[in-house]
A and B are shown apart, each in its own frame.
Chain A
Amino acid sequence: MTTETMTTKRELPQGIGRLSTGWIAFFAAMVAVTVVGLYAYFQQLGNGLIVTGLRDLGTGGGATWGLYVAYYVYFIGVSFAGITVAALIRIFKIEKLEPVARMGELLTVVSLILGALAILADLEHPWRAIVNLFEFGRPQSPFFGTFSMVIAGYLFASLVYLYVTSRRDAARLALQPSRFQGLYRFLAAGYEDTPEQRRIDRRATFWLAIAILPLLVIAHSTVGFVFGLQVGRPGWFGSLQAPGFVVLAGVSGIGNLIMLAAIVRWATKTEKRITVDAFAWLAKLLLGLLLVYLYFTAVEILTITYQASAAEQVLSDALLKGTYAWIFWGAIVSLVAAAVLLTWKALTRRWTIAAAVAAGILVNIGAVAKRYLIVVPSQTHGQLLPYPIGSYTPNWVEFAVVFGLFSLGAIMIGVFMKVFPIVPLEEAEQ
């Protein structure tokens, strides 16, 4: 019996199709969190957004955009990583990063879906929103770029990219009998591993990468324009807003990719494939982007404090020493700590995975906090008319929905890992 299984059924690589207890426990936990999130969401759908901590600004004394919008911006930012890394590999031929390319693309797809869901969670009538955006969408609104470019274009482009780069592996796995053989056959779509086909794939991915890079800059800039074009709120209007968003997107995205790569490396036992070198490369990229972002932050602080208008004065006081100071300085401290850690590693040239992961976690804490700070304080503080200072605290509904989104993302990645090799197969693994 055993020998028979051995001969007719070779095991799929990277633990695909085999559910370990650890994975099942992880899956169950994530499903539980998602269910709580769904419960919270349905509360909101039935009763209106009154169940959240959001309120009208002005006489309402609250913030009308809150945690959902902050996380929407954050998720869209995270999507930066995958496609950038994948494109860098294709365009500059960085072989070392090859093993993390597919998980990067997956991260992009998943985080874009989460971003779309986060903004839908913010709307009381999600279905009407989808229909009306298609029917009446106005390019003049910065939201148009966000919705068409980011959600449709960027997401679809990433899916195509993911598909084109996965076909060869699908074809290879389709050769051996397994539970997913049909799926692999379907995905492979008659793929034949000839030199000619490889050349075609290389060319297709190269041009896709070239086409996606500008899309990426446009997409992340439009998210910045959502805020950067508005004169009505202090602290928003500014030409640095869009580039700042692109760079912080890169920081949070690469940080996330480092964390995901470390987890995948451990879970699929691919230590030989994902080398410390790959982490070092990502960490260096992260350091570069992080330094640019810290520079932007310094410029930003100077602009809102140096010769600020009365409204901006109120805002910068709230940020630097008032209500939001702990978030603001928390963000600065974690970003600077990450930068120091990475610089130290870069100077000594002794990279470790732990250091890279620590930096990844730190920058993501910083990124979430900075996203929150761009969305909320300008609504509660520094109103242009003499409204009282407002306040906003997200409540359990919003937190439950956001955690639900995170766990949904984890489920998507976890399931993908059990169905398809998340690390591209090696030639020898055939």
Chain B
Amino acid sequence: MAKYAMAINLDRCQGCRACMEACKIENNTPQAVFWMYVFRTETGEFPDTKMSFMPRPCQHCNNPPCVKVCPVGARFRRGDGIVLTDADRCIGCRYCEVACPYGVNYYNWRTPTEAFAAYDVDFTDPEVEAVTGGVIPPYKNPDLDRPQGDEQRMTAGSAHSVGVMEKCTFCVHRVEKGLEPACAEVCPVHAIHFGDVEDPEGPLSTYLRERAGFQLLEELGTDPSVYYVGGGPPTAETREIERPLTEVQR
């Protein structure tokens, strides 16, 4: 069986956030939900500051605390390393969210209708129509509503229905078709590599073998499937350069 993993080259990442955008389009995530998120951070004191960027998908841990704590087994890890959420079973206790050290889980606080209304784009508005040519974007990627994999379970890529948990799925619906996740495909500088690490001669294994890398918060023993090469892990001085999202979201 394959064992999927991701390598993110921090020396290459330029912080353009195209991956975040691609993820939003691929997975139709609601406002203020970022399955893929790119930290744009700085360290040091002015004028000696240094900026760095770090994309943060779900780490798809090999020893995931989120799976351990889920009281009903809605969060599960497949044999190929992808960690998913069964949207039909999740009771929305949000335990996985507090247990995950990486803060990658998003709860559906609103009904989908409201969540998308919050984007506040009226596609029938003549001004918008002038840009879109009258095309109303698909409301939902139809793949997301289908159960995936051998076990045929939902992956919480689906529906964004109120009261359940969702997070990055490594684009399992694309992986099942033999495609890369949307973020990996769209990255203009090819900073994100996706593949099978169990295949010793595969491109990802080779790529990782040739470079020194690290896993985020290695010391916690979660053993992420996401490896970072180049750059370095965030330190205590690392701070985000953007305003907290709290106000935007409320």
Binding site for B on A (CB under 8 A): 47-50, 54-62, 64-65, 122-125, 128-129, 132-133, 135-138, 140-144, 147, 226, 230-233, 310, 313, 379, 383-391
Residue pair A58, B91 in contact (C-beta under 8 Å): no
Q: Which 5 A-B pairs have the closest CB atoms?
A: A124-B163, A58-B103, A310-B236, A61-B246, A232-B101
Q: A230-B99, A310-B236 are in contact. Are A62 and B91 (CB under 8 A)?
A: no
B17 → A minimal CB distance (Å): 12
Residue of B56, B89, B111, B246 near A390 (CB, 8 A) is: B246
Residue pair B72, A60 in contact (C-beta under 8 Å): no
For the A-B complex with A47-B110, A48-B108, A60-B249 known, give 10 more contacts whose Cβ atoms are closer than 8 Å.
A56-B97, A56-B109, A58-B103, A60-B32, A60-B106, A125-B92, A230-B65, A230-B69, A232-B220, A385-B216
A47 → B minimal CB distance (Å): 7
The answer to whether the Cβ of B149 comes within 8 Å of any Cβ in the partner chain is: no
B contact residues around A58 at 8 Å (CB): 37, 102-105
Residue pair A47, B220 in contact (C-beta under 8 Å): no
- Cα distance A112–B133 when bound, in Å? 59
Residue of A55, A128, A147, A388 near B240 (CB, 8 A) is: A388
B contact residues around A132 at 8 Å (CB): 72, 74, 89, 91
Residue pair B93, A123 in contact (C-beta under 8 Å): yes
The answer to whether the Cβ of B234 comes within 8 Å of any Cβ in the partner chain is: yes
CB contact list, B42-98 vs A, under 8 A? 56, 65, 68-74, 89, 91-95, 97-98
Query: In the complex, which of the residues A61, A125, A385 has the most CB atoms of chain B within 10 Å of its own CB atom?
Result: A385
Residue of A50, A141, A232, A389 near B71 (CB, 8 A) is: A141
A contact residues around B70 at 8 Å (CB): 138, 141
A sample of 29 cross-chain residue pairs with beta-carbon separation below 8 angstroms, ordered by A number, consists of A47-B111, A48-B114, A49-B163, A50-B114, A56-B109, A57-B97, A57-B98, A59-B103, A65-B98, A122-B94, A125-B92, A125-B163, A129-B91, A129-B92, A132-B74, A132-B89, A133-B72, A138-B73, A141-B71, A147-B71, A231-B101, A233-B98, A310-B236, A384-B101, A385-B234, A386-B239, A387-B240, A388-B242, A390-B246
- Cα distance A239–B222 when bound, in Å? 20
Residue pair A386, B246 in contact (C-beta under 8 Å): no
Residue pair B72, A386 in contact (C-beta under 8 Å): no
B contact residues around A62 at 8 Å (CB): 246, 249
B contact residues around A384 at 8 Å (CB): 101-102, 217, 220
CB contact list, B16-60 vs A, under 8 A? 32-34, 37, 39, 41, 56
A contact residues around B249 at 8 Å (CB): 55, 60-62
B contact residues around A136 at 8 Å (CB): 72-74, 89
B231 → A minimal CB distance (Å): 13
B contact residues around A60 at 8 Å (CB): 32, 106, 245-246, 249
A342 → B minimal CB distance (Å): 35
- Cα distance A58–B93 when bound, in Å? 17
CB contact list, B236-250 vs A, under 8 A? 236, 238-240, 242-246, 249-250
Residue pair B71, A386 in contact (C-beta under 8 Å): no
Residue pair B163, A123 in contact (C-beta under 8 Å): yes
Q: A231-B101, A231-B220, A232-B99 are in contact. Are A56 and B107 (CB under 8 A)?
A: yes
- Cα distance A336–B204 when bound, in Å? 59
- Cα distance A226–B68 when bound, in Å? 11
Residue pair B71, A138 in contact (C-beta under 8 Å): yes
Residue of A nearest to B118 (CB): A50
A132 → B minimal CB distance (Å): 4
B143 → A minimal CB distance (Å): 25
Residue of A nearest to B250 (CB): A55
The answer to whether the Cβ of B162 comes within 8 Å of any Cβ in the partner chain is: yes
A393 → B minimal CB distance (Å): 11
A contact residues around B187 at 8 Å (CB): none
Residue pair A50, B110 in contact (C-beta under 8 Å): yes
Residue pair A133, B244 in contact (C-beta under 8 Å): no
Residue pair A56, B110 in contact (C-beta under 8 Å): no
Q: A50-B114, A133-B71 are in contact. Are A379 and B98 (CB under 8 A)?
A: yes
Residue of A nearest to B217 (CB): A384
Q: A47-B114, A61-B245, A230-B65 are in contact. Are A385 and B91 (CB under 8 A)?
A: no
B contact residues around A390 at 8 Å (CB): 244, 246
- Cα distance A309–B61 when bound, in Å? 23
Residue pair B162, A48 in contact (C-beta under 8 Å): yes
B contact residues around A147 at 8 Å (CB): 71
The answer to whether the Cβ of B159 comes within 8 Å of any Cβ in the partner chain is: no
Residue pair A383, B103 in contact (C-beta under 8 Å): yes
- Cα distance A9–B216 when bound, in Å? 77
- Cα distance A286–B164 when bound, in Å? 41
A contact residues around B114 at 8 Å (CB): 47-48, 50
The answer to whether the Cβ of B175 comes within 8 Å of any Cβ in the partner chain is: no
Residue pair B109, A55 in contact (C-beta under 8 Å): yes
